[in-house]
Structures are given as C-alpha cells and as structure tokens.
Amino acid sequence: MENKETKRTDVNKLGEFGLIDHLTHDIVLQNKSSRRGIGDDAAVIDHGDLQTVVSSDMLVEGIHFDMMYTPLKHLGYKSVIVNLSDIYAMNARPTQITVSIAFSNRYSVEAIDELYEGILLACKLYNVDLVGGDTTSSPKGLIISITAIGEAKNEDIVYRDGAQSGDIICVSGDLGAAYLGLQILEREKQIYLEAPQVQPDLENQEYCLRRFLKPEARKDTIEYFAKHGFKPTSMIDISDGLASELFHICKQSDVGAYIEEDKVSIQPDAYQLALKFNVNPITCALNGGEDYELLFTVKPDDLEKVRFMPGVYLIGDILDKKEGINLHSSGGNIYPLEAQGWQHFKAE
Ligand code: ADP
Ligand code: MG
C-alpha cells in the first residue's frame, strides 16, 4: 500500500496563485459553452446572444475582516461589492448573486440581520437580485461566500490578455487609501487593547476609512464605455494592488509596460496619512490593495475618449515584452516593478 504520509508540501511554498495553478493546470474544458475558465476576473459561459459571466469570492473572519472594527452592515455591503467588481472587470453587467454564510453561535439573528441589511443595500444600489445561497454553522467565526452572475454581449467582453504594445494604461480612480484605512483601524485596535479609555483619533481619516470599510464598484466606468461606444483592450479590477494587477495583464497579454509614479493618483488625506505612518505613498498605491478600481488599457486611437473620462488617470503605456515592467519615479529614475522592487523607496 502506498504511504500517503511520506510527502507533505506546505501550502505557503506555492502561494495563492501557485496553488490555484497547481490545482487547476490539468483542467480541460469539456463543454462548448465554457468559453473562458480559470484565469480571469470571471468565467465566461456562452449562451448564444448573451454571455453569462460568473465570479466567486469568499471572506473569512480573522483573515479578511476583524469583527473588532468592522460594522456588519458595511461587511455585507463590501462582500457584495468585491464580487460585482470582478463582473465589471469583464465589461459585463452584474444581474444576480448567491450568498452563502457559515457562522458560529457567537452571532445572533440581529447580527446576521445587520449583515443582510448591507448585502441588500448593495443589491438595490447596483440593481442585482439575490437569488439563492446556503446557510450553515461554523465552529468559529463568520464566513461569507458570494457568487456574482452577470451578462454581456460576446463582442463587449474584455479579458486580461488583450493588451498590445502602444496601448495606454488607465486607472479608474485614486489608489492606496483603502490600505491606509486598514492601517488606521489596526492602529486604533492596538491602542484600544492597550488603553481602552483613549478616544480614537479619526480626524481627516473618513476618506480612507470609507475606502476600506465601504468601497464601491466601478459601475460608472462600464457605463461610460457603453455610452461612448468603445471598449478597453484588457481590464482587471485592483483587489491586490496596482503592481500585482499590472503583472497579471502583462503576463497574460505577453507584453511589457511602464507606469509613471507622478500619474498615479493618491487622494490628499491618504497621501498625508502615508507620510504619518512613515510609508511612501506610492508604495501604498502600488501594493496596498482593496481599492476596487479598474485597471484597463485602451488603443492609442481611443486616447481622446479616455482623456476626458471623469476620474480616470492615464498612468503609462504598454510596451514590448522585452522592455520589462518598469516604474518611472518622480525623481527621474527607472525601477523594475518587481514584486518587491519598490521596497527601497522609503518615505523621506
Ligand atoms: P480575483 O482576484 O479576480 O477574485 P483570484 O485571484 O481569486 O481572482 O482567482 C484567479 C482565478 O483562479 C479565477 O479565474 C478564479 O475563478 C480561479 N480560482 C481561484 N480559486 C480557485 C479554486 N480553488 N479552484 C478553481 N479555480 C479557482
Ligand atoms: Mg479580480
């Protein structure tokens, strides 16, 4: 008999993306309707005239949220938003969600009601129907798993792999604030644990807190593309930080890129807060994550269409693969945008 105990690989050795690849690289799609499987913001299923777009995300207490500083209504709202963001990232319109929850007996009916208030508010504001799910108990904490379903015409769908040399790189808003919102909450938590009588210092921090606790998804960006009759060549939502998402686009499109530090927008309160926390603001924008903005590329011919797009920043260009992926710093230096390439930028 084979001894299954002999080999034990630590999951951390592969990392999240390595593990997904390890688990799924042999999968061959069997149904003609499975137009696009693993590897984009959402799967695409061919239903004739309209394509169905599907994406899932799971939020786990203690990993993705901390009940010490997360209002349940906001958590419900955010858990819907993170899923809708993946549907928008395909240039599709979300139409339904399913919600599955598992929770321990620490949670009361009133607590789960609050969570649902947030879930239903997001459904209402984004015109999405809650059509099913599952409810069960967990030995510890709260787990929320949401699947979002959307639709789009086949010719409208935008994947991660369509960027070409010469395309312009755009971001739908400012970056880094959500990460700083999380830092504020973590700091206040530590202060509270050490000295519960100290009042929280939350002045000028509303923006960052809102960006972290109650983000929005870029429905308006997708609507703008439709209204002005054009579409990006590639797109992804920024959940893990601009650098990581740009890597996904470049890898899947087989191209290089540069972005300009000065063109990446950081909201003023977030900028000041980064300096206060002694981190470089651009580091927060590049690697912070949880911003739920859209990173997309457009053909040079569409420059005039994106130049005046409200809230959109043109941050760089797609290049040939051999050029690599670089950051042009404010000081005129060029740094390879490797995973850790920014770490030597310390705040002044
Ligand atoms: P996103 O950040 O856009 O939510 P992820 O990084 O979570 O995307 O996932 C990348 C891709 O891998 C997606 O296509 C997703 O559906 C797929 N994926 C993630 N986890 C699994 C899994 N356990 N089994 C199969 N596919 C998975
Ligand atoms: Mg995504």
**Smallest-distance ligand from the CA of 37:** 1
Going from the Cα of 300 to the center of ligand 1, the distance in angstroms, rounded, reads: 31
Q: Which of 11, 38, 88 gets mutated to test ligand 1 (max ligand atoms within 8 A of its CB)?
A: 38
**Smallest-distance ligand from the CA of 218:** 2
Going from the Cα of 175 to the center of ligand 1, the distance in angstroms, rounded, reads: 23
Dihedral sign from CA coordinates of 50, 55, 236, 178: positive
Going from the Cα of 40 to the center of ligand 2, the distance in angstroms, rounded, reads: 7
Ligand 1 atom nearest residue 42's Cα: 14
Residue 136 has pLDDT above 80, yes or no: yes
Burial track 299-311 (b if 16+ CB lie within 10 A, e otherwise):
beebeeebeebee
- Residue nearest atom 22 of ligand 1, based on CA coordinates: 20
CB 159 within 8 A of CB 98: no
The pTM is what? 0.93
Going from the Cα of 3 to the center of ligand 1, the distance in angstroms, rounded, reads: 31
Mean pLDDT of the chain: 93
The rounded Cα 131 to chain-centroid distance in angstroms is 24
Q: Which residue has the tokens 């789009």?
A: 152
184: nearest Cα among 168, 172, 202, 167? 202
Cα distance between residue 203 and residue 166, in whole Å: 43
Ligand 1 atom nearest residue 57's Cα: 4
Dihedral sign from CA coordinates of 134, 139, 142, 146: negative
CB 50 within 8 A of CB 112: no
Residue 141 has pLDDT above 90, yes or no: yes
Cα distance between residue 98 and residue 132, in whole Å: 5
Residues 228, 234, 236: CA angle, nearest 5 degrees? 105
Ligand 1 atom nearest residue 23's Cα: 24
The rounded Cα 300 to chain-centroid distance in angstroms is 26
What are the Cα distances from residue 306, in Å, to 104, 142, 171, 295, 310?
Answer: 48, 41, 10, 13, 9
**pLDDT tens-digit map of 259-275:** 999 999 999 999 999 99
The rounded Cα 246 to chain-centroid distance in angstroms is 12
Going from the Cα of 16 to the center of ligand 1, the distance in angstroms, rounded, reads: 9
Cα distance between residue 195 and residue 189, in whole Å: 10
The strand pair at 313-319 and 256-260 is best described as: antiparallel
What are the Cα distances from residue 4, in Å, to 1, 14, 23, 24, 71?
Answer: 9, 20, 18, 21, 44
- Residue nearest atom 27 of ligand 1, based on CA coordinates: 20
Cα distance between residue 229 and residue 310, in whole Å: 16
**pLDDT tens-digit map of 282-339:** 999 999 989 999 999 999 999 999 999 999 999 999 999 999 999 999 999 999 986 5
Ligand 1 pocket list (CB less than 6 A)? 20, 23-24, 38-41, 57, 86, 239
Going from the Cα of 236 to the center of ligand 2, the distance in angstroms, rounded, reads: 6
Going from the Cα of 90 to the center of ligand 2, the distance in angstroms, rounded, reads: 9
The DSSP call for residue 174 is: -
Cα distance between residue 29 and residue 218, in whole Å: 30
**Smallest-distance ligand from the CA of 238:** 2
Domains of the chain plus CATH, in order, are: 11-156 (3.30.1330.10), 168-336 (3.90.650.10)
Given this model, what pLDDT does residue 110 score? 97
Residue 202 has pLDDT above 90, yes or no: no
Window from 9-13, 88-92, 213-217, 285-289 with minimum mean pLDDT: 9-13
- Residue nearest atom 10 of ligand 1, based on CA coordinates: 39
Given this model, what pLDDT does residue 1 score? 54
Element (H, E) at 187: helix 177-194
- Residue nearest atom 23 of ligand 1, based on CA coordinates: 20
Query: How many of the other CB atoms lie within 10 Å of CB of 243?
Result: 23
Please tell me the total number of residues recorded for the chain in this structure: 348
**pLDDT tens-digit map of 17-68:** 889 999 999 999 999 999 999 999 999 999 988 999 999 999 999 999 999 9
Going from the Cα of 229 to the center of ligand 1, the distance in angstroms, rounded, reads: 30
